[in-house]
């Protein structure tokens, strides 16, 4: 499927960038759901099924000793943003390989091909929030003023995900095995992140895992999301480290992207 990108005009480069970005984001969403009967529901089915499985395993079989009640809300508050992150990073590994001809022929900044994927997955995340609201109501979870920090968590996650995408997108062109390595890395990161457990469950002795977990940027992000319903999960140290690391990763991503993009265009 082709996409009509804006021609050069008297508008500022920034305005053209945002228009092109929005066009590609809409196209990604349209292509993703145009041939799907269930459409939108596929974007929430995966985290919902995962949440159901972990809820059953930890509450019914093992009589859960981690997390908080209602556990389904506890899970979804991290699983939904995790789906955004992992989906965007996975798609970024194919950002240039999948549409090489279009990437070469257009004159728009190539960062758009990565950022549009992150935004389209972010829109899916926002569209899945009614599911979280539903279980908050059904489960009787208490919403506290920390819900206002949702915007902060979204902003940090956006910066982090774009940064990671800008790193992996060009490197996969040169190292095709990196795509599989990223999938394995994401699988490891799932269990290394406070998703099925919370930051308050991490032990401090004999090893202070709570401290070291802060250097996983997702730890601080998930703690902010969860704090809207479980105030004890908010850890400002983790949030500060997460924000700082996300900015650093974005800077690294921009550096890697800038240094490799010319070679990428020759390679694809």
Residue 210 belongs to what domain range? 40-267
Residue 253 lies in a domain: yes
Q: What DSSP line would sit under 74-116, residue for residue?
A: HHHHHHHHHHHHHHHHHHHTTTTTTTHHHHHH--S-THHHHHH
Q: Is the pLDDT of residue 8 over 70?
A: no
Residue 20 lies in a domain: no
Q: Which residue has the higher pLDDT, 119 or 2?
A: 119
pLDDT per residue as tens digits for the range 239-248: 999 999 999 9
pLDDT per residue as tens digits for the range 120-168: 999 999 989 999 999 999 989 999 999 999 999 999 999 999 999 999 9
CA angle 18, 92, 258 (to 5 degrees): 65
Q: Where does residue 265 rank: exposed (0-12), middle (13-18), buried (19+ CB within 10 A)?
A: middle
What pTM, to 2 d.p., does this model score? 0.87
Residue 208 lies in a domain: yes
- Residue 37's H or E segment, with its range, is none
Our count of domains for the chain comes to 1
Residue 34 lies in a domain: no
Residue 105 lies in a domain: yes
Residue 28 lies in a domain: no
Residue 178 lies in a domain: yes
């Amino acid at each position: 499927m082709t996409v009509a990108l804006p021609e050069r005009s008297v508008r500022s480069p920034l305005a053209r960038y945002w228009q092109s970005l929005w066009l590609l984001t809409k196209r990604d969403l349209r292509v993703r759901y145009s041939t799907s009967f269930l459409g939108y529901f596929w974007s929430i089915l995966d985290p919902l099924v995962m949440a159901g499985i972990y809820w059953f395993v930890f509450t019914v079989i093992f009589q859960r000793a981690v997390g908080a009640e209602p556990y389904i809300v506890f899970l979804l508050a991290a699983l939904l943003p995790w789906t955004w992150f992992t989906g965007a990073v996975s798609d970024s590994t194919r950002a240039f390989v999948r549409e090489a001809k279009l990437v070469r022929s257009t004159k728009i900044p190539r960062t758009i091909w990565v950022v549009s994927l992150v935004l389209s997955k972010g829109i899916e995340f926002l569209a899945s929030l009614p599911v979280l609201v539903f279980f908050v109501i059904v489960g009787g979870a208490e919403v506290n003023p920390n819900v206002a920090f949702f915007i902060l968590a979204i902003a940090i996650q956006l910066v982090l995900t774009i940064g990671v995408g800008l790193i992996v997108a060009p490197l996969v062109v040169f190292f095709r095995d990196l795509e599989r390595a990223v999938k394995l890395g994401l699988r490891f990161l799932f269990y290394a992140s406070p998703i099925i457990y919370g930051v308050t469950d991490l032990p401090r002795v004999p090893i202070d895992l709570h401290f070291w977990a802060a250097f996983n940027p997702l730890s601080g992000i998930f703690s902010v999301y969860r704090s809207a319903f479980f105030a004890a999960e908010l850890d400002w140290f983790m949030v500060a480290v997460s924000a700082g690391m996300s900015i650093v990763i974005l800077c690294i991503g921009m550096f890697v992207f800038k240094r490799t993009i010319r070679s990428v265009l020759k390679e694809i």
